[in-house]
Amino acid sequence: MNTTTVCFRALICVAVLAFSTAVGAKELKLGLIVPGDHAWSQAAKEMGEELEQRTDGRYSVTLFPAGQLGSEAQMLQQMQTGALDMSFMTVAQVVNRVPEFGALFAPYLVDNEKQADQLLRGPAAQGLLEKLPVKTGTVGLGYGVAGMRMMLNAFPSDNVGALDGRKIRITPFPPVQDFYRLLGAVSTPMPLTDVYDALANGQVDGVDADLELVWKLRLYERAKTLLLSGHMMFPVVGLVSGRTWAGMSEPDREVLRELTRKHLGELAAYYMAFGEKTRADIESEGVNVVEAGPDYFGDKLDQWEEIWTKKAPVLSELRKEADAL
Ligand code: BEZ
């Protein structure tokens, strides 16, 4: 073989290798229902960038925010078939498939987002993730948080009786439906994007939300009482399709798990810092802030606890862990 032939063959080898690297590279599609400027989307974007670096380009992440791929229920189905690789999804949606997760929405389980994050890293919450492969065909990589839940109401809300008969927009899933039923309210499910108009035209009288949503969706323009209750945490879970997971090597799985946990785990600090300022911003728009703790809700909380201790026995373990925080 002469020198020209050797060089030519070497060139072909390099070209084949380069081509096979590109072919082997995997783009992970990640869906979210929140808009692109929401903190969960930012966490997903940063996770994807770091994943690409850490795997030398073998994996990248393409985001589909704002429900571009459908509702969370639809995305869960897509992950089951392998049509979608990943999602940062509300745990609310997961409760519809695995009711045990409802225990995470126990009223006043934690005081703030930092405690929520600590509890979600504990054995009871982590144990719940193990139920996901069988029940949903997905693997739960880790949790993050949104802001603690509040209510923004278009009516004076100085006592719990004020909620009786009021139409409140909720994210529809059983723990929250039970909560508002016990309060005598009429829970009204609707996409977040419709809430502004619904408050304006009286279709709803209030909304169960966090400060980020009240601020970014400008809901404070349509309802002037912020019930600063912080009554529940609102976690997000990083899910990967079981089929995608099966195609990954063990070291790549570990990197994906580590980075998902890292970036979702940073959300608590963001919401802790963001909360004070947003509350002040909302107040400066002429919104009346009513501070409310567990006493505001009276015996309704015990009634909720009784129902959910039966539906989700893990609640007792979560309460013990929360008490120790
Ligand atoms: C909600 O339905 O209220 C919600 C959805 C995603 C992120 C935060 C809140």
For the chain, the first-to-last Cα distance in angstroms comes to 73
Residue 195 CB–ligand 1 contact under 6 Å: no
CA of 215 to the centre of ligand 1 (A): 13
d(C-alpha 314, C-alpha 215), whole Å: 34
Contact 44, 61 (CB under 8 A): yes
| Range list of H helices, 139-241 | 174-182, 195-200, 211-216
Burial of 152 (0-12, 13-18, 19+ CB in 10 A): buried
Residue 192 CB–ligand 1 contact under 6 Å: yes
CA of 90 to the centre of ligand 1 (A): 7
pLDDT at position 192: 81
Residue 150 CB–ligand 1 contact under 6 Å: no
CA of 16 to the centre of ligand 1 (A): 47
**pLDDT digit string (tens) for the chain, length 325 residues:** 454 444 444 444 334 434 434 457 899 999 999 999 899 999 999 999 999 999 999 999 999 999 999 999 999 999 999 999 999 999 999 999 999 999 999 999 999 999 999 999 999 999 999 999 999 999 999 999 999 999 999 999 999 999 999 999 999 999 999 999 999 999 998 888 899 999 999 999 999 999 999 999 999 999 999 999 999 999 999 999 999 999 999 999 999 999 999 999 999 999 999 899 999 999 999 999 999 999 999 999 999 999 999 999 999 999 999 999 9
For a substitution probing ligand 1, which of 177, 192, 267, 271 has the most ligand atoms within 8 Å of its CB?
Answer: 192
CA of 88 to the centre of ligand 1 (A): 12
Residue 207 CB–ligand 1 contact under 6 Å: no
- Please tell me the residue having the least CA distance from ligand 1 atom 9: 209
Ligand 1 atom nearest to 33, measured from its CA:
6
Ligand 1 atom nearest to 212, measured from its CA:
8
